[in-house]
Amino acid sequence: MVINKGLQIREFEKRISEFLLDVMKRDKNAKPKKLLILQIQDELTSLHRRILRKVMDKAQEQGVEITLLLAGNPLLAEKINSLAGIGPLRSQIIIRPPTYQEIRDWFHHQQLWNGATTSRFSTLQIMRIASRCEGRLSQMAQVAHYALLAAFAERSRKVKFRHVKMALAELTAPRRNVALPLLAGSLWLGVFIAVGWQTLPHTSPLLPLPAAWAHRPAPPEEKPLVRIEDSLDKPVNAMRQLYRVWGYDVPLEEAFCEEANRAKLQCKRGESPVSTLEKNGYPWIAELKVGGRIGYASVVRSGPQDMDLLMGNKTWQVSRDWFKNAATGNYVLLYRLTPQGNSKVDAKSDASEINWLNKMLSRALMKPKNSAPGWSQALVDNIKEFQRKVGLKADGQIGESTLMRLLILSGESPGLIRDKETENTIQKVQNREPAAQPPGTALAEALPLQKATVAMTTRQ
């Protein structure tokens, strides 16, 4: 007997009573021993237990020995042991679910037992029935019966998939298809994450966020301190840097002092104190000895307290005292010559050279050009006026020193950048109009400034 939700209590009591009466009528004289099999599919309720207890008591009074065989879920064993009026379980047998091979053999046996010579169910149909029924043979038998009835109603010789599908829908719980909802949910989750990720920077300032969620920028990494002795240039690199100050970007293999005449420049080497080089007014390459190393740097600015040096495409700002201690006195500087490559101009020079000198004096003194032709007295007076202006001996001659100063003030050559408050100034005339910025001085202003305060060491 099968006990499920579809079996009414009255029907259950009626069947149990009929079973007991049938046993008593058949075996009146002997002491009968009968087996009552109850298949519990859902639950054994208190009403079922009360009816069973009443029947078992009545059978005991009539001398009938009835053995109960309860089949169902193993979880019901604990409840059955606690039933009042029913003896304890003598044995508990757990039968494993049949394998697919056993289910297929069972189908074949059932077909042979019913007189069928050919199989009505295909392999895939048997697999589907076994999967949906979870190995319950009684339920598989009902599904197969319903499928055969559906095929018989359509006059079909074989059971088709729609017959099995109809039978499974009738007898088994519907199986939810989770693949499609799961796929749709995954797609929507991906869309939400993508949209949220893109809009997070725009919505974060408008929405209150917990302090723990606030974005904290990572602390800036401290760059390692570069020592100035590690940045000193080699002679060829320093010479190339000096050419760049003059506005010439020469390759490294041509950055030598001997190549200066190709640009109508004069290269001058020597040894001199810092004050003398500052009076010249030209950027120069200084030889430095720092930490036991000898290197070179281009001096482009000189102030009362500090100086700017170009090394490795960087501007280093060092104190004036440190520079005096580190400088060996050796220097290299460039200065421009006349258009014809001369270092002086006098009355014997070519007329074009004298005209060029007249134009340069007009720029430096900011006055009209002298209209007298050749080497005139007016030209000599202008030379003397310029020499007095820059603090030179007013002898009326254009030599190397006068020519170097003239080309700086006329804007033809880059000059050493001097602060207005420099103590060692070479300007003797007050309230002088500023000259045009020499070419090449903008390079020092454009390069990055790096202060050499911690990395500086004194000369040993």
- Provide the pairing of β-strand 2-3 with 33-40: parallel
8 Å CB contact between 281 and 301: no
The confidence band for 240, taking pLDDT boundaries of 50, 70 and 90, is: very high
pLDDT for position 291: 85
pLDDT for position 244: 92
Among 12-21, 339-348, 351-360, the minimum mean pLDDT is found in 12-21
- Provide the pairing of β-strand 449-451 with 314-319: parallel
pLDDT at position 371 over 80: yes
Among 188-192, 208-212, 309-313, 344-348, the minimum mean pLDDT is found in 208-212
Higher pLDDT, 355 or 438: 355
Q: What average pLDDT score do residues 238-265 get?
A: 90
What kind and span of H or E run contains 239?
A: helix 235-245
Exposed (0-12), middle (13-18) or buried (19+): which is 366, by Cβ within 10 Å? exposed
pLDDT for position 374: 86
The answer to whether domain 228-336 and domain 351-414+421-439 are alike in fold is no
> Where would I find the H helices in 248-316?
274-280
Higher pLDDT, 234 or 17: 234
The confidence band for 176, taking pLDDT boundaries of 50, 70 and 90, is: low
pLDDT for position 455: 33
Around 4, how many Cα atoms within 13 Å sit in the side-chain half-sphere?
A: 7
The confidence band for 33, taking pLDDT boundaries of 50, 70 and 90, is: confident
pLDDT for position 132: 85
Tokens describing residue 64: 């009938």
Class of domain 351-414+421-439: mainly alpha
> How many degrees, rounded to 5, is the angle at CA 364 between CA 363 and CA 366?
60
The confidence band for 440, taking pLDDT boundaries of 50, 70 and 90, is: very low
Best CA proximity match to 237, nearest among 249, 255, 250, 263: 255
Q: What average pLDDT score do residues 86-107 get?
A: 75
pLDDT at position 405 over 70: yes
Best CA proximity match to 362, nearest among 385, 343, 338, 393: 385
Out of 198-202, 222-226, 422-426, the most confident range is: 222-226
Q: What average pLDDT score do residues 193-198 get?
A: 80
**Whole-Å CA distances, 435 to 139, 362, 366, 394, 413:** 110, 12, 9, 21, 11
**Helix 137-153 × helix 161-171 angle, to 10°:** 130
Higher pLDDT, 84 or 54: 54
Among 34-38, 121-125, 273-277, 288-292, the minimum mean pLDDT is found in 34-38
Please give the backbone phi and psi of residue 430, each rounded to the nearest 5 degrees, phi first: -85, 155
pLDDT at position 429 over 70: no
- How far, in Å, CA of 337 to CA of 263, rounded? 9
> How many degrees, rounded to 5, is the angle at CA 254 between CA 251 and CA 255?
85
Q: What average pLDDT score do residues 208-231 get?
A: 77
Q: How many helices (H) and strands (E) does the chain have?
A: 15, 11
- How far, in Å, CA of 271 to CA of 288, rounded? 13
Say whether 296 sits in a helix, a strand or coil.
strand
The confidence band for 196, taking pLDDT boundaries of 50, 70 and 90, is: confident
The domain ranges of the chain are 2-81, 100-171, 228-336, 351-414+421-439
Tell how far CA 170 is from the center of its chain.
57
Best CA proximity match to 409, nearest among 431, 378, 379, 432: 432
pLDDT for position 460: 32
> Where would I find the H helices in 40-136?
46-61, 77-81, 100-113, 123-133
**Whole-Å CA distances, 448 to 38, 115, 135, 237, 243:** 96, 102, 83, 17, 18
Class of domain 228-336: alpha beta
